[in-house]
Amino acid sequence: MSIETIIAGVRLKNPTMNASGVTFTMPPLLNRLQKSEVGAVVTKTATKNPREGNKGPSVLQFSSDIWMNRMGLPNPGISKTIEELKEYDWNVPIVVSIGGSSLSEYFNNSKNIDIGELIELNLSCPNVSGGIICFDLNQTLNITSSIKNNVNLPVFAKLSPYTDIEKLKKTIDTLYKAEIDGITLTNTAPSLEIISILLPVNEKISNNLFKGGESGKALFGLSLRNVYEAAKYIEKNELGMDIIGVGGIETSDDVIKYILCGAKAIQFGSAAAGLYNENNLSSFEIPKKLCKGLENYMLKNDFKSIEEFRGEAYK
Ligand code: DHB
């Protein structure tokens, strides 16, 4: 029995990886994570220039199931990110996540990448001005096709969660046209909280809003549905794109559900962010726990490989 998986031709010893930017934001932390049982590591989204990110609290947990962040893409810039990655020896594949606010920025960032096995294009950051890129199909086609024409690494596009499945399908058609290798579904959902309604006189409520990307278990069903619909559509139309599932994954049962819905690999984000940890696990122990449960499920059902049960939910 093996829990290895192959995404866009890249072999992973198991299907787990961290979600970009949550907890494991810098190469030293990714280096520590690779010493656990993780299948691949994913960098924080890098932009052309360094960004300080937003001031004030940028990641908050509002209930056991709801996390929100408005980090504002803090990162040291693509060149420094690459330089820092090169300080370590990597024994698992690296997924380099890049962002940008224009075609030329995405393009130049992708050309800078001379380390790693996969590129993840963040087309769905909810915290930058100019809107969420994947919702603009022209821009999506221009960015993804110019990158695919100029890099040799396989490219995944990370999308927002869709409530309109027809729009998700149109986006997949667009990515297929650009020959994108796979899709990461889903990023966080744009969200709002009011931090406190108990305000001193004269203070405005509008100063007390927390706008950001929502993650955690609250996102699970929406993300899983996106993976299910995308995988079914890709299989039916023989589009040959692989899916990485992400959104609300905390337990191995969650991982199994994503695989049953068609994901070839998964990412965990909020689960590693803090207060979760029913057994006092450190964030670094999460992949081991997910893999153990996955192995037990496969043993119990006599599955020799992930491919034996992947996608069963729509077959
Ligand atoms: C940020 C980026 C994301 O892609 C996301 O989903 C949430 C937050 C950020 O850095 O602000």
pLDDT tens per residue across span 177-200: 999 999 999 999 999 999 888 777
Per-residue confidence at 88, pLDDT binned at 50, 70, 90?
very high
Give the lowest-confidence range in 36-40, 41-45, 134-138, 275-279.
275-279
Residue nearest to atom 6 of ligand 1 (CA): 188
CA dist 223 → 25, 89, 272 (Å): 22, 33, 18
Distance 315 CA to ligand 1 centre (A): 34
Task: Pick the atom of ligand 1 nearest to 213's CA.
Answer: 7
pLDDT at 280: 57
Distance 44 CA to ligand 1 centre (A): 9
Give the DSSP letter string of the chain. Answer: ----EEETTEEESSSEEEPTTSS--SHHHHHHHHTTT-SBEEPPPB-SS-B---SS--EEEEETTEEEE-----B--HHHHHHHHTTS--SS-EEEEE--SSHHHHHHHHHT--S-SEEEEE---TTSTT--GGG-HHHHHHHHHHHHTT--S-EEEEE---S-HHHHHHHHHHHHHTT--EEEE--PEEEEEES-S---TT--GGGGEEEEEEESGGGHHHHHHHHHHHHHHHHHTT---EEEEESS--SHHHHHHHHHTT-SEEEE-GGGSSS--TT---GGGHHHHHHHHHHHHHHHTT-SSGGGTTTGGG-
Residue nearest to atom 10 of ligand 1 (CA): 73
Task: Pick the atom of ligand 1 nearest to 215's CA.
Answer: 6
With a Cβ cut-off of 6 Å, ligand 1 is lined by: 21, 69-73, 122, 125-127, 187-188, 213
Distance 278 CA to ligand 1 centre (A): 26
pLDDT at 144: 97
Instruction: Look at residue 128 and tell me whether its pLDDT is greater than 90.
Output: no
Distance 161 CA to ligand 1 centre (A): 13
Find where tokens 């890709």 sit: 234
Task: Pick the atom of ligand 1 nearest to 158's CA.
Answer: 4
For 242-258, the pLDDT digits (tens) are 999 999 999 999 999 99
pLDDT at 278: 52
Instruction: Look at residue 145 and tell me whether its pLDDT is greater than 80.
Output: yes
pLDDT at 130: 81
How far is Cα 158 from Cα 172, in angstroms, rounded to an integer?
11
Instruction: Look at residue 294 and tell me whether its pLDDT is greater than 50.
Output: yes
Q: What is the sign of the dihedral through the CA atoms of 254, 258, 259 and 260?
A: positive
Instruction: Look at residue 143 and tell me whether its pLDDT is greater than 90.
Output: yes
